[in-house]
A and B are shown apart, each in its own frame.
Chain A
Amino acid sequence: MDLAIHTEKLARVYKLRGNKKEAAKELVALRDINLDVRRGELFGLLGPNGAGKTTLIKILTTLLAPSSGVARVAGYDVASEPEKVRPRINMVSGGESSGYGLLTVRENLWMFAQFYGIPSKLANERIKQLLDIVRMSDRMNTKSSDLSTGLRQKMNIVRGFLTDPEVLFLDEPTLGLDVEASLDVRNFVRGWMEANPDRTLLLTTHYMVEADELCDRVAIINGGQVLACDTPANLKRQLQSDVIYRMEVSPLNDLQPEALEALGGVRKVSHEAQDGAAVLELILAEDDALGSVVNMLTGKDIHILNLQKREPSLEDVFVNLVGHSMKEAESDANG
């Protein structure tokens, strides 16, 4: 199999220094990650903030040394052969305001093209072409400090694609972007992969729709571990026999979602408070289980405001694997 990325028992432990009296603590960011990403794949890493996605990308892009295990990108070991990995990769991180603000958009991009040894004339042609595609050609001579967050992120995305890497890492590329800009980015990513079938793209996201819409395969990661890895369709198929309801109810008061999970036929329940109401996502083994859920709610004087039956999503797969929603997992990770 022609692999663009291969990891084997990859682990990363951070040593966190406390004050002088306390001993250093260890934070396990990644544990025993085994991943194979085929050449030409658009592979998604899906997980909440703090799951270990960015740590994995940092290791794969040679920015961070693994604590143990093996990681190879484009056939080269990231720890012992970083100088062979770097010409073949690029990375774009979302949600940050990086860039040399004193330089124009064109200058920022041209300079990076120089670092990658792309001839100046070719670089300028590609910059124009790519800025056209992301509808930024009118901002080519704008200083990047004068760009909005969304435009700056688009410029960064162009920087990533400009060098035509064998393996491109996009770390939350649509974080902080508005709906229209996110759609632009997703369309661009999809188009680039179609036009360059031998290129590989690893995308991290905590947006389920993004992973579902874009990725050939998805690895669901939480707590530094890969919990499942398959195509979005196959992952959702695991829940095919289940029934999924979204129920909007009045506040749960003293009712714990775990009490609902104890009911027969109820597999998982995730809960989110929303503006004086609560939203329950219910994964049921069969439709009949809904009756006992409704009975418990009404018995606690909780009113049902809205009820929808729907198809399984990756969020449901996550809930099924982890036991709670992505947002709850992020809250746990943030302590």
Chain B
Amino acid sequence: MQATQGIGKPAKERGVSGRTFRAAAWLGWQIESNWADPLIFFIYSVIKPLSGAAILVVMYSVITNGAFDDPMFAYIYLGNAFYIYVAAVLTGVSWTVIDDREIYRMLKYIYIAPVHVPVYLLGRGFAKFAFGSLAVFITIAAGVYFLNVPLDLSLVNWPLFAVSLTLGIVMLAMMGLVLGSVMLLIVNNANFMGEAVAGALYLFSGAVFPLSILPGWLQPVGYIIPISYWLELLRRSVIGQVAESFPTFSQFSDIQLLAILAGLTALFTVLGFVVFRYCDHQAREKGYLDRYSNF
């Protein structure tokens, strides 16, 4: 064997975030899409979200004796559909820590590369966002065509929808960064955290029932979760009258809700990077970056 002449220069420091994000998103996409052949992957992508929605629809049908025309149904159905993003983005970003450290055992190599690790985690989450978008689309389309969810594209407030969706995805990604940072410090059982957090938020964010249904002493929990405001904005932008049927946030205008969401997103952005910096430092102190639990 012979060795070759080297390239000879350290990696360029400019554009680190951009190339980190692109390569991480590419890797995430490959991991999400390459585990099965294309046909099986397509079938899985369609069936999985529909199965999740079907469980909810059957439960609703049994409890309400098939009252699909009630605004409550559209409220629940849309909340459940958009909540797919929570599981996809929040746990997608945070799960990358487990994926790379425990399963692929590559976290240490990512860490010593000239990348911005938070941007890498967000890039990996972006692939989950893309697949999540497909699932959200399929779920809502099925609701409109088969269950008469009253969605009229000409009545959708598209600017509000676009701004709300974008802010919400950023907010979820930053919540994922906080969670992923904490996972750096948890060697055992960290794999349960993402699902546990997503499950808890499902209950308190008004995804499947208005916050007003919660006992009074639990309602404040819902009001401090940014996802509650985000789901309300999405419902208002997609099917305004459904949101109006439930008075949880009726005291707020669209602009006020957007301002709250923007503020909470900014807060979580700062929190995400601060928590990451702290946990990164602690993980290096404790030697957790390449510690495997063999869970």
Give chain A's interface residues, CB within 8 Å of chain B: 14, 58, 61-65, 83, 86-91, 93, 96-103, 107, 111-112, 114-118, 122, 126, 129-130, 133-135, 159, 161, 163-164, 166, 184, 187-188, 190-196, 199
Contact = CB atoms under 8 A, between A and B. Distances in A.
Nearest to B111: A63
A107 B105 contact: no
A117 B109 CA distance: 15
A130 B1 CA distance: 10
Contact of A65 (B10, B30, B104, B285): B285
A86 B114 CA distance: 5
A133 B1 contact: yes
Nearest to A54: B290
Contacts of A99: 104-106
B13 interface: yes
Contacts of A87: 10-11, 13, 114
20 contacts: A58-B290, A63-B108, A63-B112, A63-B290, A64-B289, A65-B284, A86-B113, A87-B13, A88-B10, A90-B112, A98-B105, A102-B30, A103-B27, A103-B34, A116-B11, A117-B114, A130-B4, A135-B1, A192-B3, A199-B6
A83 B16 CA distance: 11
A83 B114 contact: yes
Contacts of A86: 112-114
Contacts of A89: 112
Interface of B: 1-8, 10-13, 15-16, 19-20, 22-23, 26-27, 30-31, 34-35, 104-106, 108-115, 281, 284-285, 287, 289-290
Given A98-B105, A159-B109, A191-B1, A117 B284 contact: no
Contacts of A199: 6
Contacts of B2: 133, 191, 195
A115 B19 contact: yes
B111 A62 contact: yes
Given A100-B31, A115-B20, A195-B2, A62 B112 contact: yes
A99 B19 CA distance: 20
A214 to B, nearest CB: 13
Contact of B3 (A64, A184, A196): A196
Given A163-B11, A191-B2, A195-B2, 5 more contacts: A63-B111, A87-B10, A100-B106, A133-B3, A192-B4
A128 to B, nearest CB: 11
In the A-B complex, list the 10 residue pairs whose CB atoms are closest, starting with the nearest.
A192-B3, A164-B6, A191-B3, A114-B23, A87-B114, A98-B105, A87-B10, A117-B11, A87-B11, A164-B7
A126 B8 CA distance: 13
Contact of B105 (A14, A83, A97, A133): A97
A114 B21 CA distance: 10
Contacts of B11: 87, 115-118, 163
